[in-house]
Structure 1
Amino acid sequence: MSDRAALMELMAPIRARVVTASALQLVYAVSALVPFVCVAELARALLAPGPVDRARVWGIAAVAVGGLLVRFLAFGAAGAIMHFADADLQLHLRRRMAAHLARVPLGWFTDRNSGQVKKAVQDDVREMHHLVAHALLDLLAAVVTPLAALAYLLTVDWRLTLLVLAPIPLFAVAFAIMMRGFGEQMKRWGEANERINAAVVEFVRGIAVIKTFGQTQRSYRRFAEAVDDFADFFGAWVRPMLRLSGLSMALISPPTMLLVVLAGGTFFVSQGWLAAPDVLPFALVGVGLTAPFLTLDMGSMRLRRAAESAGKVAALLATPALPEPEEPAAPDGHRVEFRGAGFSYDGQTRVLREIDLVMEPGTVTALAGPSGSGKSTLAKLLPRFHDVTEGAVVIGGQDVRAIGSAELYRHVGFVFQDVQLLRASLTANIALGRPDASAGEIERAAAAAQIHERIMALPRGYDSVIGEDAHLSGGEAQRVSIARALLADAPILVLDEATAFADPESESAIQDALSTLVAGRTLLVIAHRLQTIAGADQILVLGDGTIAERGRHADLLAAGGAYARQWAAYARAGERAWTHDEEIVR
């Protein structure tokens, strides 16, 4: 969908008000010219040979006053209607985007950073303000006012009118040259802004860890590089246009137009082609003939940016939502099966293929294998972050696509390394999966997750708000997410090893919390440290998107395959780390 088509679709809720405001703007555009025409006609009436026609003079004055009143009323009404319409449209679009984002697959968010989502929902919607509240009205005025002025001047003298119009084609040529490649440049502009947004969000979110490890300068460098890249791109784009822009502006500036009118008018009067009073309409109206072009030129970049933003908002709203069944099925039990499951992100390259797997209730299944082998992708198919492109994922005899999201997440929970907490109270964060949970249930879940005492030490306890008076470490945030999973009490759990990057103190507390969480549940674990899965009921070793080996820890070691080699490498790395730590202690 083109940006223009996207804009028309997005503006559908306010279309009636746009039409009303446009009609008022047309009235304004014509009435704005009336006082100038009246002054010119008044001068011609007063300077005409013979006695002054008083009735005509007072009639012209009355028309001028009426034109001023109509102008102010039409302009104010049109502007008010469009600004209120813009506010309603922004509210409508943000609500629509929030509702739509709640329906897209969770995997969609893993492919996009917070800066990109924030830019679409906040910045791109706000960028449309100029387009809706100002640009459409300015465009109407820029077209109608010159046409009305041109029609009037042609009735005075068509020859001087053509002379006054002479600078406009030169301006049009210069403007066309400046606009070459504008669409591609605006695309690069948007991408550069997205990189800056992403760098800012990542820097702010990770500031505690960054400062702890003394990497402030290194992390800031990424933001600085994004800003420098933007400055270099913008300078290379704009610098060549500055001289041409200055020349084009000079061609249609009021002083230039006045010079053309006076020079041409003097010549025409000297030749007897025009009476001296007839030059005055050109001096009053002709000078302002090109003013709307100046407005359009100065607002053209904002206009293009707004149109591009509309395209991005429309693209986000066009993101396919996760299909929901018309009649959701209920699983019978918690047996999990992957039946010939395959998956591709782009519809061509298969990331996973022919995955056959059974997870009996209450058992632990671990996924091992090198980075990029498909462990995380396979694990995220169970909570339906993505839908399989081949085969099926089945819970309790029902395909997860037939269960429906609300029911599915009562059966499947997940705890990942990348913890996401809302800017809300600790109570709201823990009760996210069960909003109706009592205060006692929330506190018991927090205690089981080893985070209750830390919460009680906060200024307002469970009412403390994340990011305001609750600033948690990574390990503490992880325990809040575990408390959330405990309260949700889903019988099936997907666990991306939550202690992989925790400090020793946090790791101990998280392990205790996880021991409580996984008890009695069907567990699918993504393994980063092989010793944590040695007791799993079955271990799947992935390679090239398929199951290369499966079995228990001892059986896989005895087989001497990929798992045995990975375990040997892991054991050697652990021995070196232990020796290094021993040397430090000495």
Structure 2
Amino acid sequence: MVKAFGGAGRAHRRFRTAADTFVGTFHRWERGISRIAAGMQLVLSPPFVLLVVLIGGAALITNGALAPADLLPFLLLGLGLTAPVAALGHGFDDLQSARRAIGRIRDVLAVPSLPEPANPVAPQGHRVELRQVRFGYEAGHEVLRGIDLVLEPGTVTAIVGPSGSGKSTPAQLLPRFFGPTHGSVTLGGADLREIGSRELYQRISFVFQDVRLLRASVADNIALAVPRADRGDVVRAARPANIHDRVLELPRGYESVIGEDAGLSGGEEQRISLARVLPADAPVLVLDEATAFADPQTEQAVRRALATLEGDRTILVIAHRLETVADADTVVMLDNGSITERGRPAELLAQDGAFAGFWRTHQTAGIDEAGPDREERS
């Protein structure tokens, strides 16, 4: 990036300056402790300890305070103590590093978790409703401003909008990664704050844009939500996600360990992430920009999976590519944290409003990216 924008010379000069500054600082620090370190190593060296014991013992023997035979235990003990004392010095450095690591772990553990309800409520069904939801990641800056939205069972609801519109925030609120600052999010008539986390995550599955796979076998990653799933369940989940054939090409198939003998592209990892939600059979599914950086195969897998999951499930799709929402039952257009339009995709296009403009912009951008040949073919 630096080279592409003609900044290689400036970057090299800054790097050399920073490196020279570091070397100078390191040399000054090293000179300050080198004498102390050298002295400690000399004092703890076996020859020095042997010499001190011999000189001291000889003086005591000459004065008659020590019998010659009693000098031998001091010689043996003195030589034997040098290594443990030197090890203690190195252990002190390890102890300091461990203390700093413990401090970082304590900082993580000190972050308060979302409180569990004292008397958990079981949802009745899987109808999702957002009522006058307001939320901001930072105080004084609201991302959602009074959102009212209902996700009915058996429907696919897609949320679209420009960057910064807040369209991904509902996907963070539904699995209760955050709580609304005002209003409520309900599942089956029960406020999410009144549902136990174990119950909640058995009813909601989600696929996010940022894929996180475990350093485990492909089968274990797909069966993450259902550890007792057999190979047939794993394969049945992999097929609609369009990843089964690729897995069979790996050295050990489904037993290949991701990060060791399974090298996957970003799109393939996304497809495994998509397959991971299928064995769970959760009644609510959240797809948060799962195709934002996907290849055509992954986007096709997402649409195929949506078709497979249709039925009585409640599906929320946060869309980056508008093709993904073409078959949605309801499209919600967000702008600046508020709903500007909602309805079926064809109806919103016919209204020629914000969504239609957003769609045209997307289509134009797609033609520009494809180049003049595609435009002529169109």
Which interval holds the TM-score relative to the shorter structure? 0.7 to 0.9
* Alpha-carbon offset, residue 301 of structure 1: 6.2
Greater strand share, structure number: 2
Q: Deviations over 1:436-465 (max 9, x none)?
A: 333333322223333333334444333332
Q: Is the 8 A contact 1:482 1:514 kept in 2?
A: no
Structure 2: how far apart are the matches of 1:342 and 1:231?
48
What residue number does 2:81 align with? none
What residue number does 1:244 align with? 32
Q: TM-score, normalised by structure 1?
A: 0.50
What residue number does 1:374 align with? 166
Structure 1: how far apart are the matches of 2:89 and 2:238?
60
3-state DSSP class of the match of 2:119?
A: coil
Alpha carbons of structure 1 residues 505 and 552: separation in structure 2 relative to 1, 3 Å: closer
Alpha carbons of structure 1 residues 300 and 523: separation in structure 2 relative to 1, 3 Å: same
Alignment of 1:543 with 2:313, yes or no, is no
What does 1:156-305 align with in structure 2 at a 5 Å threshold? Answer: 234-235=22-23, 237-246=25-34, 304-305=96-97
What residue number does 2:265 align with? 473
Amino acid at match of 1:512: R
Q: Is the 8 A contact 1:426 1:463 kept in 2?
A: yes
What residue number does 1:483 align with? 275
Alignment of 1:438 with 2:226, yes or no, is no
What residue number does 2:71 align with? none
Q: TM-score, normalised by structure 2?
A: 0.74
Q: Is the 8 A contact 2:240 2:301 kept in 1?
A: no
Structure 2 counterpart of 1:340, from 110, 122, 132: 132
* Alpha-carbon offset, residue 398 of structure 1: 0.5
* Alpha-carbon offset, residue 348 of structure 1: 4.1
Q: Is the 8 A contact 2:222 2:276 kept in 1?
A: yes
Structure 2: how far apart are the matches of 1:507 and 1:336?
26
Q: Is the 8 A contact 1:342 1:351 kept in 2?
A: yes
When Rg is computed on C-alpha atoms for both structures, the one with the higher figure is 1
Q: Is the 8 A contact 1:425 1:465 kept in 2?
A: yes
User: Between the two proteins, what is the percent identity of the paired residues?
Assistant: 52
CA RMSD of aligned residues (A): 4.3
What residue number does 1:351 align with? 143
* Alpha-carbon offset, residue 580 of structure 1: 2.9
Structure 1 counterpart of 2:203, from 405, 411, 422: 411
Q: Is the 8 A contact 1:324 1:405 kept in 2?
A: yes
Structure 1 counterpart of 2:105, from 313, 317, 334: 313
Q: Unpaired runs of 5+ in structure 1?
A: 1-214, 259-275, 278-283, 285-292
Amino acid at match of 2:141: T
Q: Is the 8 A contact 2:349 2:355 kept in 1?
A: yes
Q: Is the 8 A contact 1:446 1:480 kept in 2?
A: yes
What residue number does 2:59 align with? none
3-state DSSP class of the match of 1:454?
A: helix
3-state DSSP class of the match of 1:498?
A: coil
Structure 2: how far apart are the matches of 1:377 and 1:467?
31
Q: Deviations over 1:50-102 (max 9, x none)?
A: xxxxxxxxxxxxxxxxxxxxxxxxxxxxxxxxxxxxxxxxxxxxxxxxxxxxx
Structure 1: how far apart are the matches of 2:274 and 2:376?
34
Structure 2: how far apart are the matches of 1:374 and 1:236?
48
3-state DSSP class of the match of 1:320?
A: coil
3-state DSSP class of the match of 1:484?
A: helix
* Alpha-carbon offset, residue 246 of structure 1: 4.1
Structure 2: how far apart are the matches of 1:321 and 1:444?
36
How many positions carry a matched residue from both structures? 346
Alignment of 1:383 with 2:175, yes or no, is yes
What does 1:92-111 align with in structure 2 at a 5 Å threshold? Answer: none
* Alpha-carbon offset, residue 495 of structure 1: 1.0
Alpha carbons of structure 1 residues 322 and 532: separation in structure 2 relative to 1, 3 Å: same
Q: Deviations over 1:201-226 (max 9, x none)?
A: xxxxxxxxxxxxxx9x99xx9xx99x
Q: Deviations over 1:356-415 (max 9, x none)?
A: 111111122211111122111221211122222222110000011221222112221112
Structure 2: how far apart are the matches of 1:442 and 1:331?
28
3-state DSSP class of the match of 2:239?
A: helix
What residue number does 1:569 align with? 361
Q: Is the 8 A contact 2:157 2:331 kept in 1?
A: yes
Structure 2: how far apart are the matches of 1:566 and 1:439?
43
* Alpha-carbon offset, residue 494 of structure 1: 0.7
Q: Is the 8 A contact 1:426 1:462 kept in 2?
A: yes
Amino acid at match of 2:272: V
3-state DSSP class of the match of 1:524?
A: strand
Q: Is the 8 A contact 1:450 1:513 kept in 2?
A: no
Alignment of 1:402 with 2:194, yes or no, is yes
Q: Is the 8 A contact 2:222 2:273 kept in 1?
A: yes
Q: Unpaired runs of 5+ in structure 2?
A: 49-61, 64-73, 75-84
Alpha carbons of structure 1 residues 443 and 386: separation in structure 2 relative to 1, 3 Å: same
Amino acid at match of 2:26: V
Q: Is the 8 A contact 2:270 2:298 kept in 1?
A: no
3-state DSSP class of the match of 2:363?
A: helix
Higher relative contact order structure (alpha carbons within 8 Å, sequence separation ≥ 6): 2
3-state DSSP class of the match of 1:488?
A: coil
